[in-house]
A and B are shown apart, each in its own frame.
Chain A
Amino acid sequence: MSVITYRDAVSSVLREALDEDERVFLMGEDIGPYGGAFAVTKGFWEKYGQRRIKDSPLAESVIVGAGVGAAMAGLRPVVELMTINFSLLAMDQIVNHAAKIRYMSGGQFSIPLIIRTVTGAGASVGATHSQSFEGWYASVPGLTVVTPSTPRDVIGLFRSCRELNDPVMFVEHILLYGTRGEAPDSGDFRIPIGQADLRRTGGDITLCGYSRMALVAEQAAEILAREGIEADVIDLRCLRPLDMDTVVASVKKTHRALMVEETTRLGGFAGELVSQVQEEAFEYLDAPVGRVAGAEVPMPYSFPLEQLAIPSAESVAAAARKLVNGV
């Protein structure tokens, strides 16, 4: 086991894909000599050349659309949308085309396309650059939405995504690139798509999140443990398909649940989690299922305000405490 950064993990699985499969090429803005907005593809252009590493124009729709077309013709493109905020300009290709061509063609065409993008708040880049739309994409049948939170998960999930034949939104988190974690040694290591990760066990409450919020939930569990409250912490890892079995099994044990996510509460993905828990485990619940989510504001730039708008270990612990103790 070696310890690597999340960024290194992404780079390594991309290199692996390029080395193993001639049908794989990368395409995106500034991924060439510049090395990518988050330095994920540094050195790629020099190593693999222009044919495999395509520096595209600033044109999100055609980045994804050309990926769709190339995938229909039998290649396995991995395209990069610099951040999920810019994915809105490619929404037509992602939602109307990539996700639907297989179904609308009666199964004649598959779209083995991986769309890598970057989500999340907390980087002091203001309202237009701090959004978390992965939950929106999770509402689209035909897409697979993956949200790794650790280097290990990046590696295991990306390898599994490459084995799918359908479009994937592979959503990395802007604040996680510099985080470190253990990397699996084996090239065979995979994490099945649609399998949540029980990251910590405890009998008093279930804390459930994804992407960076899974880590925040884990930190909250540490705070709670010092007070004698033990939490199950679940990292969903995939939003579609969604592993509710793991969540429901945990809630049946703990009788309380708190869902944590970065995006706003109204229309957020956590509402779906709450709904499914009450459908599947209503009679096991000792308290209403809670949510901690982003504030209902465009993300402010100013650091202290921004911190107020994003769930923190403290705010998650406080909400959990309230569910467990009733105060």
Chain B
Amino acid sequence: MLKADVPELNKSDLLGFYRQMKLIREFERESERQYTRGNIKGFLHVYNGEEAIAVGAINTLRPDDYIVTHYRDHGQALARGMTSNEVMAELMGKATGCSKGKGGSMHLFSSDLNFMGGYAIVGGQLCIAAGLALAVQYRGDDQVVLCFFGDGAVNEGEFHEAMNLAAIWNLPVIFFCEHNLYGMGASSKETLVMWDSLHEMAAAYGMSRYEVDGNDVLEVRTLMQKINAEVRAGSGPAFVVARTYRLRGHSVADPADYRPQDEVSYWAGQDPIPRYRDWLTDEGIATVEDFEEIDASVDEEVVVAAEFGESSPWPESASLYDDVYTDRPTEGIPA
């Protein structure tokens, strides 16, 4: 791709994408550090290597569009505009987290941003995405729903249920598969018949389908702009498969020693951030100074987020019973 291929983007837009990708990468580095220090507990699934997808895709949405995603959700949350502070605080289980510490890393939500949640039961969010799209259609609105999931989720029955429903009812939803070649530890080559032409699974639903280089932020963005416009105009659902790779293990607890070294090396060479940086440099859009400035501001933002999280208060004990129900307290109810 050349600069001339994206005439609508100016330098500040293009550097904005770089900053977001870099922020996600550094945020994840910091979250791993905080995990090691014991400030983040439980599962932590980082997004390293897949940043171009969230940044490329989410930046094509309108503020009133909906996003649904899986448990590997920090990148999408940040790309949508959630603050590093509120995400980091949530990871730490603090009262200042986006969900007051009730959800944790795998369950980020923001009603202000129509970020409808990270879902940690593989495949479940596809059904919810279909329902959001159903609401859009029911009201006669023109939002789109962007639903992220992994290649592992394609094996779940809920994938089929949601794809069929969306197709038969012509719902405005984009099912976006982050195809990183692995579920948790199992290679999709061993578990998914269609692993090498995954987008073709949508043929069974008569759905528009696309494959894209998920490590190229501008490719993702360009494709998603086209798809969004079509879906918004009433074309019905679409299925997008972005080929990518996670540079770290499935979760922080995973040393990822089951992956062949040549595969790991190949994908290390496809790292979306250096690739984009090189492109910006080669196209004469950005200079070393530009990058230095952005990198420094990202580093500072991440340090501030970690300090914010650490210094934030724990949720009050009394909040244990808050928000189980909308209209009634749980406390005092024997059940």
Q: Please give the residue numbers on chain A whose beta carbons come within 8 Å of chain B beta carbons, in ascending order.
A: 25, 51, 54, 56-57, 59, 61-62, 64-75, 77, 92-93, 96-97, 101-110, 138, 141-142, 144, 164-166, 194, 239-242, 244, 276
Bound-state CA distance A150–B181 (Å) is 55
Bound-state CA distance A62–B162 (Å) is 6
Q: Which of A59, A108, A144, A241 has the most CB of B within 10 A?
A: A108
- From B135, B161, B323, give the contact of A106 (CB < 8 A): B323
Check A106–B130 contact: CB distance below 8 A: no
Check B127–A66 contact: CB distance below 8 A: yes
Check A72–B116 contact: CB distance below 8 A: yes
Check A62–B99 contact: CB distance below 8 A: no
Can you report 13 residue pairs joining A to B where beta carbons are below 8 Å apart?
A57-B164, A61-B157, A62-B164, A65-B130, A65-B158, A69-B116, A69-B129, A73-B131, A75-B139, A92-B158, A101-B117, A241-B333, A242-B334
Residues of B within 8 A of A244 (CB): 334
CB distance from B90 to the nearest CB of A (A): 9
Check A73–B333 contact: CB distance below 8 A: no
CB distance from A322 to the nearest CB of B (A): 28
Check B127–A106 contact: CB distance below 8 A: no
Encoded as 1 (CB less than 8 Å from any A CB) or 0, chain B from 112 to 144 comes to: 000011010100101111111111101100000
Stretch touching chain A among B103-111, B207-215, B234-242: B103-111
Stretch touching chain A among B24-32, B248-256, B268-276, B324-332: B324-332
Check A59–B131 contact: CB distance below 8 A: no
User: Which chain A residue shows the least CB distance to B135?
Assistant: A73
Residues of A within 8 A of B324 (CB): 102-103, 141-142
Check B109–A65 contact: CB distance below 8 A: no
Residues of A within 8 A of B102 (CB): 103-106
User: Which chain A residue shows the least CB distance to B123?
Assistant: A92
User: Which chain B residue shows the least CB distance to A72?
Assistant: B116
Bound-state CA distance A165–B328 (Å) is 10
Check B161–A61 contact: CB distance below 8 A: yes
Q: Which of A64, A104, A239 has the most CB of B within 10 A?
A: A104
Bound-state CA distance A109–B117 (Å) is 10
Check A69–B130 contact: CB distance below 8 A: yes
Residues of B within 8 A of A240 (CB): 335
Encoded as 1 (CB less than 8 Å from any A CB) or 0, chain B from 50 to 73 comes to: 000000000000000010100000
Check A62–B135 contact: CB distance below 8 A: no
B294 part of interface (Cβ distance < 8 Å): no
B229 part of interface (Cβ distance < 8 Å): no
CB distance from B163 to the nearest CB of A (A): 9
Bound-state CA distance A71–B131 (Å) is 8
Check B334–A74 contact: CB distance below 8 A: no
Check B165–A66 contact: CB distance below 8 A: yes
Residues of B within 8 A of A51 (CB): 138
Check B107–A93 contact: CB distance below 8 A: no
